[in-house]
Amino acid sequence: MLNMLSIELFMNRHLQMPHARYASAKARVGNLEPITVSRTRVASGAVRKEMSIAMSTPSTPSTSAATEPTPPPDGEPTPLPPSPTRTRYQQLADQFLQAFESAVAIIPNLEAPHATTVNFVRGNATAPMKFLVTVTSGVEQHPELQALGKLDATAAQDKIQYIQAFRPLANPVAAFLKSLGFTVNAHQASLTADALQVYDITKGLARDPGSAHLATLAAMMKRDLGRRGRRSKKPAAPVTPKPPATPSTTPTTTTPPKAAAG
C-alpha cells in the first residue's frame, strides 16, 4: 500500500509538475486516505464501463418527436395540401366585394323583389316618364287636385329625381353581371374540355395491365363527374308524307249555251 511519501516522490520525480500544479495535487493527496486510491480506480473503471455501455446502446427515438404523416389508403391519390394564404384571384374578389358593398351603400332605399309586390311593380312600371312628369306638375299647379290626396307632389318629385338618377345605372350593372357570369362559365368550359380529354385517356390507359393502378383514379373521376356520359340528341320525329290528292268522283253538269235570238 502506498504511503504519503511514496506518492509525493512519484509525483515529484516522474510527473515533473510545475510548482502551482504540484502544490494543488499535493493538497488533494494530503486529504485522501490510502484506501481511497483503490476505490477511486474502481469507481473510474465502473464509470468507463457505464460509458462504454451507453455508447454501444442505440438510442430510442423520443415519443415527443413529430410522427410522419399517415399515407392515404391504397388507390387514393394524395390530397393537395391546403393553401396557407388566399390566392391572387381570391384577394382581387375580396377587394371588389368591399368596393361593391361600399357602392351599394351609396344608393338609398334599395328594395328586394317580393312575392307580394312583384306583380304590382311589373304591371305599373311601364308608364312613360313624360306622363308622370305631366301629372306631377298638374297636381302642383291645381289646388283642387291636391285636395284629392291621391298624389303628394313633393314625394312625386323625389321619386322622379330618383328614377332619373339611378335608372341609367341599371343597364351597365346588368351588362357587367352578364359579362361576369359568362367569363366564369367560359373558364369552367375550357377547363372541362381539357379535363374530359384527360378522363377519356385515363380510362383507356387503365385497361392496359401495365397501368392497372390508373383504374382506381378513373373510377374516382367517374364518381366525381356524376353523370352517365354525354347526353345524346333526340332523333327527329319522322315526317309522314301526305297522301296525293284524289280526283273528285262527283259528276259535273255542263249547261248548254243558249241559242242566239233570230
pLDDT tens digits for 128-154?
A: 999 999 999 999 999 999 999 999 999
pTM more than 0.85: no
- The predicted model gives 179-202 an average pLDDT of 96
Does residue 174 surpass a pLDDT of 70?
yes
Query: pLDDT tier at 18 (50, 70, 90 boundaries)?
Result: very low
> What percentage of the chain reaches a pLDDT higher than 70?
55
Residue type at position 63? T
Residue 54 has pLDDT above 90, yes or no: no
Instruction: Convert the pLDDT of each residue in 202-259 to its tens digit.
Output: 999 999 988 888 999 999 999 999 876 556 566 666 667 666 666 656 555 666 656 5
pLDDT at residue number 169: 93
Residue 6 has pLDDT above 60, yes or no: no
- The sign of the torsion formed by the CA atoms of 39, 40, 44, 47 equals positive
On whether the CB atoms of residues 139 and 151 are closer than 8 A, the answer is yes
The pLDDT value given to residue 147: 92
pLDDT of 179 > 60? The answer is yes
- Residue 53 scores a pLDDT above 90: no
The residue among 26 and 225 whose pLDDT is bigger is: 225
Name the most confidently modeled range: 59-73, 80-94, 96-110: 96-110
The whole-angstrom separation of Cα 218 and Cα 201 is: 9
Q: Tell me the residue type at 104.
A: V
Secondary structure in 3-state letters for the chain: CCCHHHHHHHHHHHHCCCHHHHHHHHHHHHCCCHHHHHHHHHHHHHHHHHHHHHHHCCCCCCCCCCCCCCCCCCCCCCCCCCCCCCCHHHHHHHHHHHHHHHHHHHCCCCCCCCCCCHHHHHHHCCCCHHHHHHHHHHHHHCHHHHCCCCCCHHHHHHHHHHHHHHHHHHHHHHHHHHHHHHHHHHHHHHHHHHHHHHHHHHHHHHCCHHHCCHHHHHHHHHHHHCCCCCCCCCCCCCCCCCCCCCCCCCCCCCCCCCCCCC
pLDDT band at 71 (very low <50, low <70, confident <90, very high): low
Which distant-in-sequence residues (6+ apart) come within 8 Å of 212 by Cβ? 206
Identify the residue with better confidence: 80 or 195.
Answer: 195
* Grid cell in block for residue 143: 289646388
pLDDT value of position 29: 46
pLDDT at 44: 45
Instruction: Give per-residue pLDDT as tens, 89-114.
Output: 999 999 999 999 999 999 999 998 89
Q: Is the pLDDT of residue 120 over 70?
A: yes
Mean pLDDT of all residues belonging to the chain: 75
